[in-house]
């Protein structure tokens, strides 16, 4: 396909003046012949490879396959590294550096001679970070995910990454298994390359990228080590070159309609609560107005069809074999539940055009039917009330139905350290009817909003065989976790939200059916407590990125982006420095 539109990269390589000489000359030290600079689209491969991000540690091989596709289609690939947010190692939380990574991506794209980018993503935060950065530039963009691990194996049964850790740790604390048994599952859980194989945040965001139309079909679920993952990488490399010629920029794909489709799909897959924050942040970067209440309007009441852990039984490997995300989208569309079937995707076809004929395997066990869903009550439950004026969320498919309407006495922890210090105290005044409340774990309070919202239960409650209690915090929760857990309370305690003034013994009412989270004290008393509230000491760090983070991070309902990063700034080429 020929194209008359001037390439962005020509502003570096397309001149015969001093600057053109310099740009080409230094690139030629890599052995690039002159003809590669003669008008071929330059495709950036934005790589989050890192040995400290084990979920993305196989990405060099994926990049090689993307390159083959780019070359075959007549482009020239250039691979570059960006900050890699590995969920498992990074302290205090990979969420702290999601925005940092997005800034790295944005400026790497804008400042370099690339006409389009392929985003290599996998571990949880890498997907939103790279999409946020690319959205702020709005060049043609295609997502290639690293894929999930093979099923974990332990003692002859399948185990899910992350979810088994929470389960076995609870069992260990309750005295049901010993330490050897607990530790013996480590190697079996992570036995291949790839991301967590449950419907945790990584898989959820991979599904979101596909539902948004930013990847080729099947990108979300092909296992990391399946040769078809490399075929998809190759085809993505070919397609991105065509997207340059078609000027198919991200803003043509990431429309409000695309986000509405993604919200509905998130309900159908039983996706992570983290998607609420990440989709808002991505939408903000491309200029789409996405509100917390859109999750109620579009997703609430939608049955969960995909029977994957942590809500259900299976893992991503079975999900792929059952037909993957195209099969889910087909099931939605056939039941008139796909809000915007005509939404454009990166292959130039509509979402429905890609999925209408998708095969569904597995006897409707993994991808269930509308009349036999995993949970009738899926989606994300958005809560509001005097305890969360700007909102909070709960994942119904991971909750205990009997607890979704509950009134209980608050047992309050001032922060995560306080929780850790006292939760196992035999004298803690708590029983299973209480509501565990944890403060100061939000975006500013923890900084980074750690995934600590699924507080483990007090051992003396666990010992009774109780497995769930209502828990409320301004924290996030791992997508692999479960329970009747109210998260993302906004404004957070550290910003002076009402959560900050909850006291031991207060009664709290949770009603997921009415979307209500209420602190049962007189309004005058609430106002009195709020007026007397003082910000916790030590909130502002001495300096560095963490100070920038605390000063500029927005609340959970606003996507936790930095206030100065919201918006699409485009890929206008910066002026020469020489
Ligand atoms: Fe990387 Fe779960 S820790 S995907």
**Ligand 1 within 6 A of CB of 423:** no
Rg of the Cα atoms in the chain: 24
Q: How far is CA 425 from the centre of its chain?
A: 35
Phi, psi angles (nearest 5°) of residue 210: -70, -40
Distance CA 559, CA 441 (A): 15
Distance 88 CA to ligand 1 centre (A): 6
Distance 496 CA to ligand 1 centre (A): 32
User: Is 70 exceeded by the pLDDT of residue 88?
Assistant: yes
State the DSSP string of 76-89.
Answer: EEEEEE-----TTT
Q: Give the pLDDT of residue 1.
A: 46
Residues ≥6 apart with Cβ < 8 Å to 447 = 92, 96, 541, 546, 549, 550, 553
User: Angle, nearest 10°, between helix axes 256-269 and 324-334?
Assistant: 100
The angle at the Cα of 170, spanning 164 to 176, to the nearest 5 degrees, equals: 100
User: Peptide bond before 310: cis, by omega within 30 degrees of 0?
Assistant: yes
Counting from 1 in the atom list of ligand 1, the atom nearest the Cα of 56 is: 1
Spatial contact of 208 and 244, defined as CB atoms under 8 Å apart:
no
Place of tokens 């429905």: 352
DSSP state of 56: G
Distance 265 CA to ligand 1 centre (A): 21
Distance CA 55, CA 49 (A): 9
Q: What are residue 410's DSSP bridge partners?
A: 435
Q: Give the pLDDT of residue 540.
A: 64
pTM of the model: 0.96
If you average pLDDT over residues 450-472, what whole number do you get? 94
Residue 122: strand, helix, or coil = coil
Confidence label for 359 from pLDDT (cuts 50, 70 and 90): very high
Q: Give the pLDDT of residue 298.
A: 95
Residue-wise pLDDT for 375-425, tens only, equals 988 899 999 999 999 999 999 888 999 999 999 999 999 999 999 999 999
**Ligand 1 within 6 A of CB of 294:** no
Q: How many CB atoms lie within 10 A of CB 310?
A: 25
Residue-wise pLDDT for 94-135, tens only, equals 999 999 999 999 999 999 999 999 999 999 999 999 999 999
Give the side-chain half-sphere CA count within 13 A for 468: 15
Tell me whether strands 116-121 and 141-145 are parallel, antiparallel or unpaired. parallel
Phi, psi angles (nearest 5°) of residue 209: -60, -40
Counting from 1 in the atom list of ligand 1, the atom nearest the Cα of 88 is: 3
Q: Give the pLDDT of residue 164.
A: 87
Distance 557 CA to ligand 1 centre (A): 23
Distance 166 CA to ligand 1 centre (A): 14
Pocket mutation for ligand 1, best pick of 93, 94, 101, 124 (most atoms within 8 Å of C-beta): 124
Range of lowest pLDDT (44-48, 141-145, 202-206, 533-537): 533-537
Distance CA 440, CA 41 (A): 48
**Ligand 1 within 6 A of CB of 200:** yes
User: Is 70 exceeded by the pLDDT of residue 329?
Assistant: yes
Joined together, the tokens standing for residue 351 give 């979402």
**Ligand 1 within 6 A of CB of 303:** no
State the DSSP string of 539-561.
Answer: -S-SSHHHHHHHHHBPPGGGTT-
Alpha helices in 423-560 (DSSP H): 459-462, 523-532, 544-552
Pocket mutation for ligand 1, best pick of 57, 84, 88, 272 (most atoms within 8 Å of C-beta): 88
**Ligand 1 within 6 A of CB of 124:** yes
**Ligand 1 within 6 A of CB of 87:** yes
Element (DSSP H or E) covering residue 392 = strand 388-394
Phi, psi angles (nearest 5°) of residue 81: -90, 150
**Ligand 1 within 6 A of CB of 451:** no
Counting from 1 in the atom list of ligand 1, the atom nearest the Cα of 87 is: 3
Spatial contact of 440 and 494, defined as CB atoms under 8 Å apart:
yes
Q: Give the pLDDT of residue 377.
A: 83
Joined together, the tokens standing for residue 232 give 């998809």
Residue-wise pLDDT for 276-301, tens only, equals 999 999 999 999 999 999 999 999 88
Domains annotated for the chain, with CATH where assigned, are 40-150+192-355 (3.40.50.2300), 153-189 (no CATH), 381-535 (3.50.30.80)
Q: How many CB atoms lie within 10 A of CB 546?
A: 16
E-state strands within 50-145? 76-81, 116-121, 141-145
Q: Give the pLDDT of residue 406.
A: 98
Counting from 1 in the atom list of ligand 1, the atom nearest the Cα of 203 is: 4
If you average pLDDT over residues 4-12, what whole number do you get? 90
Spatial contact of 395 and 273, defined as CB atoms under 8 Å apart:
yes
**CA nearest ligand 1 atom 1, residue:** 123
Distance CA 279, CA 378 (A): 18
Place of tokens 């009412």: 509
Residue-wise pLDDT for 31-42, tens only, equals 999 999 999 999
Q: In which region does residue 147 sit, left (phi positive, over 0), alpha (psi from -120 to 50) or beta (all else)?
A: left
Distance 204 CA to ligand 1 centre (A): 11
Q: Give the pLDDT of residue 2.
A: 47
Q: Give the pLDDT of residue 482.
A: 82
**Ligand 1 within 6 A of CB of 195:** yes
Q: Which residue has the higher pLDDT, 265 or 187?
A: 265
Confidence label for 76 from pLDDT (cuts 50, 70 and 90): very high
If you average pLDDT over residues 206-210, what whole number do you get? 98
Distance CA 354, CA 218 (A): 10
Counting from 1 in the atom list of ligand 1, the atom nearest the Cα of 53 is: 1
Q: How many CB atoms lie within 10 A of CB 25?
A: 9
**Mean pLDDT value across the chain:** 95
Place of tokens 């230094």: 26
Pocket mutation for ligand 1, best pick of 123, 193, 223, 310 (most atoms within 8 Å of C-beta): 123
Distance 56 CA to ligand 1 centre (A): 9
Compute, in degrees rounded to 10, the torsion defined by CA atoms 18, 20, 25, 28. Answer: -170
Tell me whether strands 152-154 and 76-81 are parallel, antiparallel or unpaired. unpaired
Going by C-alpha positions, the residue among 399, 516, 419, 417 that lies closest to residue 469 is 399
**Ligand 1 within 6 A of CB of 123:** yes
Spatial contact of 483 and 507, defined as CB atoms under 8 Å apart:
no
Distance 201 CA to ligand 1 centre (A): 8
């Amino acid at each position: 396909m020929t194209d008359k539109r001037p390439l962005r990269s020509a502003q570096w390589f397309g001149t015969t003046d001093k600057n053109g000489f310099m740009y080409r000359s230094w690139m030629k030290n890599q052995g690039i012949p002159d003809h590669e600079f003669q008008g071929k689209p330059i495709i950036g491969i934005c790589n989050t490879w890192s040995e400290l991000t084990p979920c993305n540690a196989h990405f060099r091989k994926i990049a090689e396959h993307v390159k083959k596709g780019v070359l075959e289609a007549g482009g020239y690939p250039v691979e570059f590294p960006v900050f890699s947010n590995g969920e498992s190692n990074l302290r205090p939380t990979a969420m702290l550096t999601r925005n940092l990574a997005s800034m790295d991506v944005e400026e790497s794209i804008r400042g370099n001679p690339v006409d389009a980018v392929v985003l290599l993503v996998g571990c949880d935060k890498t997907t939103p970070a790279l999409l946020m950065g690319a959205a702020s530039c709005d060049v043609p963009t295609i997502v290639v995910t690293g894929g999930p691990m093979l099923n974990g194996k332990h003692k002859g049964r399948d185990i899910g990454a992350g979810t088994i850790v929470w389960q076995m740790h609870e069992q260990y604390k309750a005295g049901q298994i010993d330490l050897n048994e607990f530790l013996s599952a480590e190697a079996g859980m992570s036995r291949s390359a790839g991301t967590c194989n449950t419907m945790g945040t990584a898989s959820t965001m991979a599904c979101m990228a596909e539902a948004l139309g930013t990847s080729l079909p099947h990108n979300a679920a092909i296992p990391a080590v399946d040769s078809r993952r490399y075929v998809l990488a190759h085809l993505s490399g070919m397609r991105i070159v065509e997207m340059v010629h078609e000027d198919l920029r991200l803003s043509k794909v990431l429309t409000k309609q695309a986000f509405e489709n993604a919200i509905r799909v998130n309900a159908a897959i039983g996706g992570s609560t983290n998607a609420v924050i990440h989709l808002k942040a991505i939408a903000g970067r491309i200029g789409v107005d996405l509100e917390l209440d859109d999750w109620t309007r579009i997703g609430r009441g939608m049955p969960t069809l995909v029977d994957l852990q942590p809500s259900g039984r299976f893992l991503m490997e079975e999900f792929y074999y059952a037909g993957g995300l195209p099969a889910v989208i087909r099931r939605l569309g056939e039941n008139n539940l796909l809000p915007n079937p005509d939404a454009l995707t990166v292959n130039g076809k509509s979402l429905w055009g890609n999925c209408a004929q998708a095969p569904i395997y597995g006897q409707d066990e993994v991808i269930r039917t509308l009349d036999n869903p995993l949970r009738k009550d899926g989606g994300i439950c958005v809560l509001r009330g005097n305890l969360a004026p700007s909102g909070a969320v709960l994942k119904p498919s991971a909750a205990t139905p009997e607890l979704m309407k509950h009134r209980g006495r608050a047992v309050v922890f001032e922060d995560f350290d306080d929780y850790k210090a006292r939760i196992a105290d035999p004298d803690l005044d708590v029983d299973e009817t209480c509501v565990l409340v944890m403060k100061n774990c939000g975006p500013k309070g923890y900084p980074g909003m750690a995934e600590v919202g699924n507080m483990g239960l007090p051992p003396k409650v666990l010992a009774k065989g109780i497995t769930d209690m209502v828990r409320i915090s301004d924290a996030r929760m791992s997508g692999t976790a479960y329970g009747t857990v109210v998260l993302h309370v906004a404004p957070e305690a550290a910003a002076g939200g009402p959560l900050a003034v909850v006291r031991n013994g207060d009664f709290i009412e949770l009603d997921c059916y009415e979307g209500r989270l209420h602190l049962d004290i007189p309004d005058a008393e609430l106002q009195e407590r709020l007026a007397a509230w003082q910000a916790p000491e030590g909130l502002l760090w001495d300096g560095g990125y963490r100070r920038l983070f605390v000063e500029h991070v927005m609340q959970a309902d606003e996507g936790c982006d930095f206030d100065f990063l919201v918006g699409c700034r485009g890929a206008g080429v910066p002026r020469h420095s020489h």
